[in-house]
Amino acid sequence: MARLLGTLRGSQPVARFQRCCGLFPAGEEGGGDHPADGVRHRVVCNGGGAGGQLRPGAPNGGCVQKYVVKNYFYYYLFRFSAALGEEIFYITFLPFIYWNIDHSVSRRMIIVWSIVMYIGQVSKDILKWPRPLSPPVVKLEMRTDAEYGMPSTHAMAATAISFSFFITTMNQYKYPFELGLMAAFVFSTLVCLSRLYTGMHTVLDVIGGALISAVLLVLLYPVWDSIDHVLLTSPFCPLLSIAVPLLLCYNYPKLDYYSPTRGDTTTILGAGAGATVGFWLNNQYVAPAYVGSNMGFPLITGTTVILMLARFFVGLLIILMTRQLMKNVVLRVLCYCYTFPIADLNARRRLEVEVPYKFVTYSSVGFTATVIVPLLHELLGLI
């Protein structure tokens, strides 16, 4: 068993998977080193962290890596699948469900996403398992290379989002059980495999992430309705929704170098906190449609599609505007309070700056998505 775990934790299985999918380091036997063999791409595969310290996955101070793509089907499939685990997907998909499909489903998905991602991010910085080595692995992403590897939070998020959506809708709407299960399985599998293809995780990282997420879903499922009821009705909900995530962010595990995990965690918890306050406010003061009744899967007609797209693009525009506005305002206030220039990246990475900067910005985004945007939809006649 120990030998098997050691193999799954190693870089060689990841490298072999990449080669099977047509991704080679330039110059490797079978990979070719001529333009005719495929377009060669350059990526900075390693680099120093804050203060000159190395990133977890970096065996040296920095290099430039070339790679050859021989199978563009797998290349674009897995690059797209990897994007399904990024912020841009969740900041669009979760609000889309809330605005167009079902409020109760969206509430549960956001809560599960917040819990799962917090546990995953903290686990990385407690376990401190490095990412696959390059070489032999080809790394296609740079930003997350500054983080540790175990567990894969892409795998955790994909498993949590897809299966929580499936579980919460299978008893409310009429669709084939097998179809829903297959869709959830395919979605999570593609995201998991994309983390191997991009060279960002070992096999054990991905399996561990998916299993942790599955266990958390099993534990949360029996109390989903109770949590939802408390969040909608408790008079302490707004205070706790802000105080608890902030406390967790300020007490995030400390590292010897800068890693984006704390900032990413603060972003997720901030968005969840703002959305939760919005859920509570809707239940207390807005029309009952926001809590009691489900919009349900709408009958797909031309008019329905136009309305759904209109709600989505109007909402997305407002979210992006809110995000940009709050980033500028909050950052300038913090620059004034802590007396540092706005371009000072190291200062912006300090705990007392990064946490309020990210938390206030994204809690505003979550609140806007659940309160301001639906009110605007109603004002524009889109509901």
Catalytic residue positions, numbered: 154, 201
Q: How far apart are CA 198 and CA 7, in angstroms?
A: 19
Are 319 and 91 in contact, with CB atoms under 8 Å apart? yes
Two tokens, residue 360: 């206030």
Max intra-chain CA distance, the chain = 66
| Among the listed residues 172, 182, 375, the one whose alpha carbon sits nearest the alpha carbon of residue 293 | 172
DSSP 37: G
Could you count the other beta carbons within 10 Å of the beta carbon of residue 255? 18
Q: How far apart are CA 169 and CA 108, in angstroms?
A: 11
The number of C-alpha atoms within 13 Å of 229 and in the hemisphere containing its C-beta is 4
Cα angle value 197/160/315 (rounded, 5°): 95
| Among the listed residues 4, 24, 2, the one whose alpha carbon sits nearest the alpha carbon of residue 199 | 24
Residue 294 burial class via C-beta count within 10 angstroms: exposed 0-12, middle 13-18, buried 19 and up: middle
**Angle of helix 153-170 relative to helix 177-197, nearest 10 degrees?**
170
Could you count the other beta carbons within 10 Å of the beta carbon of residue 329? 13
Q: How far apart are CA 74 and CA 309, in angstroms?
A: 30
**Angle of helix 261-285 relative to helix 224-233, nearest 10 degrees?**
70
Residue whose token pair is 């903290």: 122
Are 132 and 201 in contact, with CB atoms under 8 Å apart? yes
DSSP-assigned beta bridge partners for residue 69: 23
